[in-house]
Amino acid sequence: MEQPPAEARLAAEAQAATTTEPLAVRTVDDVDVLKAMADPTRLAILAALMKSRRNLPVMSVKELAAELGEPQTKLYRHVRQLEAAGLIRVASTRMVSGILEQRYQASQRDLTLGRGMLREHAEESVAALQVLLDRFRDGFAAAFLARQRSAAELPDDEAYRVPALTMSDLRISPAKAAELTGRLKEIMDELNEEQAEDPGGVPVNLLIGWYVPAENR
């Protein structure tokens, strides 16, 4: 049976997408892309589609809604915005109860912020950063409360499940600060290597960062 023109076009686009390898790392150097990321729901969708860098998931809006615990109708607009920004793409299509269903995949395995973005688009960069920090805060709080409730039941070999967080205001020498920067970068580089991901491992959320207060620069 011949497909209608619109369905044939979507199927062709999806086929073309699957033959294009996702970028290993995408540098965010466009303000519209940055704005697309600066929303909790869109960031959650993007995180769901990038949760395994080795094998990027392919999910429909219905599957994303189930994953995120959100109404399906709420996600369509956000999915379209992410697709328009090039952060996700249609990876496949299929017929479900006579309706053509699109399934999405991230267009990249990792993201990094372009050097000029903070300087040239400070307001949008801070907005995106706030969404990222809020997401980490909420996830950490949920993990902390869950561990508090079941701390007595935690086996010794699952001590890695205990959340860890430290925040310090220190005075250190410039040499020590440079050494600390290098050590943190080594950890980030190690974790960002594709081979560092263990398909059978446990998911973790890690936030690494430090800064010199603006008034001391």
Can you give the CATH number for the domain in which 102 is found?
A: 1.10.10.10
Q: What is the pLDDT of residue 196?
A: 66
Answer whether 24's CB lies under 8 Å from 107's CB.
Answer: no
User: Is residue 11 a part of any domain in this protein?
Assistant: yes
User: Is residue 216 a part of any domain in this protein?
Assistant: no
User: Is residue 65 a part of any domain in this protein?
Assistant: yes
User: Is residue 176 a part of any domain in this protein?
Assistant: no
Q: Residue with structure tokens 């920090």?
A: 133
Q: What is the pLDDT of residue 213?
A: 87
Domain containing residue 90: 5-112
Rounded to two decimals, what is the model's pTM?
0.80
Q: What is the pLDDT of residue 183?
A: 95
Q: How many domains does the chain have?
A: 1
| CA 14/CA 19 separation, integer angstroms | 9
Q: Is the pLDDT of residue 95 over 60?
A: yes
User: Is residue 160 a part of any domain in this protein?
Assistant: no
**Among candidates 214, 202, 11, which has minimal Cα distance to 103?**
11
Answer whether 37's CB lies under 8 Å from 43's CB.
Answer: yes
How many residues comprise the chain? 217
